[in-house]
Chain A
């Protein structure tokens, strides 16, 4: 689908991208002017859809696109670069071709490779028109900042950027998005937005041993992001989002919350806050249409994540008891029930969600529940803050919960309100508190240097032995 570049495809793409803009001004005019405000504005909208700001603007008051934000990857912190038009510190002296090469092939102006923390594996699908618009925006719509961002310094062997050339050869599909003529324009728009710009698969597709997104069969079937887990968003009715209506998906992408289903936290809350809530309604609808048609990837789940649980009777059974009290309920009653109410119903006004019929408690893994308890929720949508305090290390001293307490309360919540088959151990909480289980390649890193030494020794031995045996053979003759 992606490789096909038919004449029809090009005209459809043009139509899709320019349908709103050509109403205001002619296509030829916009291109002739080059840097005119229309193109810059188009680039700005694309940059919002691509969520460039999430990484390239440091949180809490960083200058827009000046970089410096440390992206905590399992292999070490990768520092987002300064992409303002500063000639000294940013990308001010990039040509359009150089800009496109870094965006779509992951290669900087100086020829060094970017790490795929920059989702160039998704942006590679961007059309030439959109790349030009983004270039116009970053050259003329962003204020230059002359402060360079710190360098990324990953530990050996990941500091060898040239290794990414091999990685790219293996995993980068350097192809532009090609519309599928058998689908509606809306689906194609959704596929383009989800695949090229919003880079959903960067988080929602599982990764292989070399940290590359797995193939088509696992596309959008869920991936781990340190402590958080980006769930299966394929069309499967139980494992994915097949049981969501299009309107619910649009509402979720717009607000991060659908009562009785889910709320966004962690990286998804960031994506909604910075990017998705600002997209036009038609674009969100297109993404929903596309997601509802992504081939379903099933798992062992018997019902959708949002369908588990009911209000508890703990208040009736346990309030006032001196003995035989569930320690998890004790924590719940002291730390959670203020907002989620004594029976886990949440508030009727929807400010505090119910703990049942909630994807955080009904999933087949406890990651997002425990991560929510540890790190809280902080999502500003439409100028309104939605907040749950953290109970992990960032919490105030009096709010902090121990690994034991978090394991207890998680098991209570899962048993009463969520998927009772899921259990949480103290070890699970420890792992998530420290940022989740590192992928195999990161776990193996300490073995790489000794491994190389052992390999070299083995090679020397083999060569020595062979030459000796050959000499023996010669002597025998």
Chain B
């Protein structure tokens, strides 16, 4: 993760975090959830700190839900993502604990508010990207040491789940439905202008 290419890519990866339009549309209750997490997270963090630097699995789930804004997330997947990231990146466990402490202290309303904070520095931003990227893509890491955790459950498919099927799965014969009467597939003047 130290070479420039990887750093660049992780910068790119922060794009969906900074402009989570679909995510925002998806979750009207993000703010409420964020507040609940900030409050709840503080309490849980206290107990976790008491005996280990590692983030407990249930805490990692809540952290992930706050960071991705995607709620609910599956506990089973959270456990697998966390274990995989810890295995492939020796620094991850400590970084995640650090991030959770920061999130807990910041008490941001949601991920957008958190990202807007000027004191959010690079090791933390990198960890956020790492976690959010894994949940959205369903894979941990980017290069040769990649591990697949989820396919259909990857968050990138969630915003369009009500309209599109996950590729390789079928929606049934004629599942495209009827073309809306007031739309044309040929470009009209307004579109070509």
A349 touches B172 (CB 8 A): yes
Contact A342 B172 (CB under 8 A): no
**In the complex, what distance in Å separates the CA atom of A350 from the CA atom of B174?**
12
Within 8 A of B (CB), among A339-367: 339, 341-342, 347, 349-352
Q: Is A347 touching B172 in the complex (CB atoms < 8 A)?
A: yes
Instruction: Contact check, A320 vs B149: say whether CB atoms are below 8 A apart.
Output: yes
Q: Answer yes or no: A161 CB below 8 A from chain B CBs.
A: no
A313, A320, A341: the one contacting B76 at CB < 8 Å is: A313
Within the complex, which residue of B74, B147, B170 is in contact with A320, where a contact is CB–CB below 8 Å? B147
Residues 43 to 68 of chain A near chain B (Cβ within 8 Å) = none
Is A317 in contact with chain B by the CB < 8 A criterion?
yes
- Whether the pair A319, B169 counts as a contact (CB closer than 8 A) is no
| A387 (CB) vs chain B CBs: closest residue | B173
The verdict on B152 contacting chain A, using a C-beta distance below 8 Å, is yes
| Separation of A199 and B183 alpha carbons in the complex (Å) | 52
Within 8 Å CB of B174, what residues of A?
351
**CB–CB B171/A316 < 8 A:** no
Query: Number of A residues whose C-beta is below 8 Å from B?
Result: 16
Interface of chain A, main secondary structure? loop
A316 touches B76 (CB 8 A): yes
Q: From residue 311 to 349 of chain A, which have CB atoms closer than 8 A to chain B?
A: 313, 315-317, 319-320, 337-339, 341-342, 347, 349
B153 at the interface (CB under 8 A from A): yes
A-side contacts of B137, CB under 8 Å: none
Residues of A within 8 A of B76 (CB): 313, 316-317
B151 within 8 A of A: yes
Report which of A315, A319, A347 forms a contact with B175, defined as CB distance below 8 A. A347
Q: Please tell me if B192 contacts chain A, counting CB pairs below 8 Å.
A: no
Question: B149 to A339, Cβ gap below 8 A?
Answer: no
| Given A342-B152, A349-B172, A351-B173: A316 and B74 interface contact (C-beta under 8 Å) | yes
Q: How far is the CB of A334 from chain B (nearest CB, A)?
A: 10
B178 CB–A CB distance under 8 Å: no
Given A313-B76, A315-B153, the answer on whether A320 and B148 have CB atoms closer than 8 Å is yes
Instruction: For residue A319, give the distance in angstroms from its CB to the closest CB of chain B.
Output: 6
A351 CA / B171 CA spacing, docked (Å): 8
Verify B169–A351 contact, CB threshold 8 A. Answer: no
Measured CB to CB, the closest approach of chain A to B51, in angstroms, equals 28
Contacts known (A313-B76, A316-B77); A338 close to B170, Cβ less than 8 A = yes
In the complex, are the beta carbons of A338 and B169 less than 8 A apart? yes
Contact with A along B116-143 (1 / 0, CB 8 A): 0000000000000000000000000000
Asked if B144 is an interface residue, CB under 8 A from chain A, the answer is: no
Which residue numbers of B lie inside 8 Å of A, CB to CB?
A: 74, 76-77, 80, 147-153, 165-166, 168-175
Closest 7 CB pairs of A and B: A351-B172, A320-B148, A316-B76, A342-B152, A347-B172, A316-B74, A320-B149
Would you give 9 A-B contacts (Cβ < 8 Å), ordered by A?
Answer: A313-B74, A315-B150, A315-B151, A315-B152, A319-B152, A338-B168, A341-B169, A349-B171, A350-B172
Known: A315-B152, A316-B76, A316-B77. 19 other contacts (CB 8 A): A316-B80, A316-B150, A316-B153, A319-B148, A319-B150, A319-B151, A320-B149, A320-B150, A337-B169, A339-B169, A339-B170, A339-B172, A341-B169, A342-B169, A347-B170, A347-B171, A351-B172, A352-B170, A352-B172
